[in-house]
Each structure stands twice: as C-alpha cells, then as structure tokens.
Structure 1
Amino acid sequence: MIASYDQLREARTALDTPLFAGLPGDIRVSFEFFPPKTDALMSQLWEVVTTLAPLGPQFVSVTYGAGGSTRDRTHGTVARIIGEARLPAAAHLTCVDASKAEIREVAEAYWEAGVRHVVALRGDMGAPGVPFTPHPEGYANAAELVTGLKEIAPFEISVAAYPETHPDAASPQADLDNLKRKLDAGASRAITQFFFDAETFFRFRDRLAAAGIDAPVIPGILPVSNVAQTRKFAAACGAAIPSWMEGLFEGLDTHPPARQLVAATIAAEFCRRLYAGGVRDFHFYTLNRAELSYAICHLLGLRPKLPALEAAA
C-alpha cells in the first residue's frame, strides 16, 4: 500500500522536532488580575500571585470596575502586591462615571501607594450594549485620560489596542488613529484585547508599522477554560472565537480536568505560533487562576527567576 501525500505530510509533522523543544525561555511576561470581593477570594488570589511571581513578570496589573466600583479593592490589591510580593504593579483606571477631580484623587492615592504604572482605559458603562457617555466634568476618552495622568505624575502608562477593531470604532482605520492618539499623548505601550488567531496579530502588526506606530504592542492572551464565559467576553469586545476552538471544547462541560488539558494545549500552541512570528512579550489575562498561564510560560521555556513567596496568609 502506497502512503498518500496527506499521510506522508502528517508523518513528517509528527516526526519533526516537538513544538516546545529547546526554547531558550527568552520571553517576557505580564499578568492581569481582578480585585477579589472577599477575604477568602483574596487568599485565593494571593496563591495565584505566589505561584506566578517567581516567573519574574515585567509587571502585573489589577483591573478597575466600571464607575470605580472596585476602587478601594483595586487600590488595596495593588498596594499589597507592591508591598508584599515586591512586584511592579500597574493599576487600571477608567473614564467611566468619574470627574477629572475624582480621577486625580485616585491617581494621587496610587502614586502615594508606590504605583508608578497605570493602565489607562476609556472603559465601558458596565451594562452590555450601553454606549459610553463621558462624565460632564470628566475625560471624554483614553487619550485625554493619558494626558491628564501625565500632568498629575510621571506615570508609566499602558493603553488598550484592538487587533479585531473596537466595537465602537467607526472603522479599523479610525480605531488605529485612536490608538496613535493615546500613544502620542504619552503612553509607553499598548496591550491588545484577547484574540485567538496568530495571523490576526501579525496582520495588525503590519498595519501598525504602515501607520508609523513603533511603540511596543503586547498581545493579550486569554487561556480559555470556560467557553460560555469566553463567549460573553468576546461578544463585548468584538473578538472572534474560531469554530474549530468551539469544536474542541464540545462535550467537555462535565469533564473539568480534560477541559483544562485541552485549554492548555490550545493556548500553548497559539502562543508558540506567536513566538515563531517574533513575539517575545505576552500579557496573560489570568482570571485569577495560575495554572494555565504558568503551564504556557513553562512550555515556552520560561523558568522561575525569583525566589518563591510565602504562601497566602
């Protein structure tokens, strides 16, 4: 029996050097957390922090609820990460339902707590589909927020980028122009919304270069373990979930351990494709879980660089 072309191709693929063999670990990573609502959830988050901290992240960030709804918890979480974990921590800040004076108050409190890095976002109103409405005495958009923050203190500032275009943007070009305004206002880098196709990022990178944008743009990685939750996230931000990914998770709702293994496999291969395209910086949306992000970093060759932290108190 003569092997078909497809069989030979699959055989060559299977016998090639494994995807993750011999990687030098030359990646730089950052992690995003959200502020916990209870003491028990804070203990859980601290276990995540203690797991990921030895990987030596460039920074970790803590999200900020719509209208400042998590203001105190964001501040407390960031302060603890800086004070106890000794990690560079970035606090998120949005324009939603806040005057310039209120934002100044929050930013000054961050600075006093040792925060030197802010993720500046326009933000969403909190309810799905509700259009953003600026506070009458606030900032109209993220570019204005960046300008305002730079006048308050010499923060390092990260902003958001959208490889698949922000849902509110009039066009892909308008979205790109908005990103350029944020960077021109003083932002140091952009972090992308999550996406699931490496080619999406590569095409976006080409468009950035054509537009003369040379600031670092870091791909945001969402390791998927809860497909239903990911669908909601994707619908809100305009990210596409490939049908093949949906198919791989089908039938695993009642098999959490298997779902975790599939999730790790998909996300790791995705990051490996980005790595093959020259990406060395990755920002992980952890959803306050460590295992998937840690496993992906390990497969990409990253090993602990810092001493382990004490367990959660």
Structure 2
Amino acid sequence: MAPRISFEFFPPQSLDASFRLWDTVRLLAPLRPEFCSVTYGAGGTTRKLTHEAVTTIGKQFGLTVAAHLTCVDATKAETLEIAHAYADAGVTQIVALRGDAPKGADRFTPHAEGFASSVELVEALAAEGRFTIRVGCYPEPHPESADTAADVAFLARKVQAGATSAISQFFFEPETFLRFRDACAAAGIAAPIIPGILPIENWNGVKKFAARCGQAVPDWLDARFAATDAADHEALSVELCTDLCRTLVAEGVEDLHFYTLNRPTLSRDVCRRLGVAEVADAA
C-alpha cells in the first residue's frame, strides 16, 4: 500500500517566487496530500506572506493546509491573534515551533511578553480548543540539545502539552529515523511521528545546510554524488530518496512529509515511484 504523503512549501517573497510556488502546488496537488504546510521565514519575517499563501492554497486547490507558527519576535497576544486569524479563515491545523533566531542573532531569545518555548505555544493553542497541533522533532540532536535523549524528552513535553503529531527534521539514512522512533516509543510517546523527507536538489547546498543543523553527512552518500556526473544527479536523487522511503514504509512508516523547497519535480517523481495515485481533476 502506498504511504500517505504531505508537502512543505515556503511563502514567496518576489513575483518570480510567487509563480514558482503556484506552479509547485499545481504540480503536486493531484497527488492529494493529507495536508500541506507553509513555513515562516527566519525570525517570522514572512508572517503576512505565510497567511496569504496558506489561505490561497486552501481556497484555490482544495487542500488541507497547516500553517507554521513560531514564538519569534512577538508577544503572546500577537501570536494568538495570528492563530485566531487562521481559524477564522478555516485553517485549523498549526505547526507550532519555537522558531529560529532573527537574522543577525546568535540564538533564540524570547520576547519579553512572548512564549519562551514551543511547549508554551502548544499549551496555549491547545487551550483554545480550535486547532490540530503538529510540532517538530529531531532524529539527530538539535544544535542546542545535549543529546537525543533530551530531544525525546522535550518532544514528550510537547505531546503532553497538546501536540497530536510530530514532523521530523530531514535525515539521510533510514536507521537515523527508526532509532529515534524506537526511542520515542520507549519513552511512551504515542503520537504519530512523521519522517521529514528532503529530495536532494543540490547536493553541495544540502551538505552546507546539514552542517548548520548539526547533521552528519554519510561518507557513502557523498561518494555517490562525487562519482556521478552532474547531469545525472537528479536521477540519482530520485533513486536514493525512493530507496529511503521504501525502507521506512517497510518498517511500518505510514506517512511521509516532503520538504519541497518549492521545487516539485523530485517530490512528485518519488511519490509516483512509491505508488501514490494522482487525481486528474485535483487542481
């Protein structure tokens, strides 16, 4: 049986980027994802653009959309006002995150009147009684975390606060996610944990991003890309991503969340290989 899928998009900040977003949604909508999420920019800089993208995707394409919401650079009242605006527009799924530090800052510092952590944000959203709340999690230790055990414990706190599922950071090998899933199960976390899947559009760029996130890059993967002509990198990416997903599904994973980077072709091709059916009149 094909897995259930979902996609992440980011809001456009230019006219060209806007066209690319809508082309991305149009290409992937026929795969009928369970939901699509739309990110904030660093430091919450795309708050208004995120709201516009979320509501438009829902109305124009008939997709269920989950809006990212962070604790960065806003009071509690301002953050909840944004959540209320989503609910009033019919968007009741939230991906609740602490958020990255604003540009130029070394680390996250809570607003004096804001939420200090994602746990506090989840608690406040759950108290509203209007939202399905998803959160993030990290199969490899978060850069600010002591170790995986600490990340598991923090995820447990978010679930206890009201989160109904978690979406993981991307990873390169299935064992990385499966070990984390097992650790979460051993800790009594019953909420679904959805693996975050990143089809590799640009290997050098992904390696740099992984380094910033504290993720280990397997030597064998680096060697595969180094030994493959650049013209064949796209085919290699689809092959590797499909293999990763198939292994996860064989190990009981039922949902996959694709980080599209608003470049849909690789995600579409992987989903097709996984047997995800397309609906012709979805858009």
What is the alpha-carbon root mean square deviation over aligned residues? 1.6
CA positional deviation for 1:176: 1.1
Are 2:165 and 1:189 aligned? yes
Contact 2:32 2:282 survives alignment (8 Å):
no
Alignment partner, residue 211 of structure 1: 187
Give 1:60's aligned amino acid.
C
CA positional deviation for 1:278: 1.3
Aligned partner (choices 25, 49, 70) of residue 73 of structure 1: 49
Contact 2:7 2:33 survives alignment (8 Å):
yes
Contact 2:72 2:102 survives alignment (8 Å):
no
Q: Once the two structures are superposed, what CA deviation does each residue of 1:149-205 show, in whole Å capped at 9, x if it has no partner? A: 223451101001111121111232221111011011111100000001111111111
Aligned partner (choices 108, 117, 125) of residue 141 of structure 1: 117
Alignment partner, residue 289 of structure 1: 263
Alignment of 1:164-313 (within 5 A): 164-250=140-226, 255=230, 257-305=231-279, 307-309=281-283
Aligned partner (choices 128, 151, 155) of residue 131 of structure 2: 155
Contact 1:159 1:189 survives alignment (8 Å):
yes
Alignment partner, residue 92 of structure 1: 68
CA positional deviation for 1:248: 1.6
CA positional deviation for 1:306: 5.8
Q: Once the two structures are superposed, what CA deviation does each residue of 1:203-257 show, in whole Å capped at 9, x if it has no partner? A: 111111110111100000001121222123212322222111111222668x3x4
Contact 2:39 2:68 survives alignment (8 Å):
yes
Please say which of residues 183-192 and 230-239 is displaced more in the overlay.
230-239
Q: In 2, distance between residues paired with 1:252 and 1:300?
A: 24
Q: In 2, distance between residues paired with 1:98 and 1:205?
A: 33
Alignment partner, residue 101 of structure 1: 77
Q: Report the secondary structure of 1:159's partner residue.
A: strand
Q: Report the secondary structure of 2:127's partner residue.
A: helix
Q: In 2, distance between residues paired with 1:123 and 1:173?
A: 21
The normalised TM-score by structure 1 is: 0.86
Q: Report the secondary structure of 1:93's partner residue.
A: strand
Q: Report the secondary structure of 1:289's partner residue.
A: coil
Q: In 1, distance between residues paired with 2:129 and 2:280?
A: 30
Structure 2 stretches of 5 or more lacking a match?
Answer: none
Alignment partner, residue 15 of structure 2: 39
CA positional deviation for 1:76: 0.6
Q: Report the secondary structure of 1:74's partner residue.
A: helix
The normalised TM-score by structure 2 is: 0.95
Q: In 2, distance between residues paired with 1:251 and 1:272?
A: 24
Give 1:92's aligned amino acid.
H
Structure 1 stretches of 5 or more lacking a match?
Answer: 1-23
Q: Once the two structures are superposed, what CA deviation does each residue of 1:92-150 show, in whole Å capped at 9, x if it has no partner? A: 01111111011022111111222110100011104588122111111111010011122
Bigger Cα Rg: 1
Alignment partner, residue 13 of structure 1: none
Contact 2:42 2:103 survives alignment (8 Å):
no
Residue correspondences, number? 283
Overall identity of the aligned pairs, in %: 51
Q: Report the secondary structure of 1:54's partner residue.
A: helix
Q: In 2, distance between residues paired with 1:129 and 1:260?
A: 35
Q: Report the secondary structure of 1:92's partner residue.
A: strand
Contact 2:30 2:281 survives alignment (8 Å):
yes
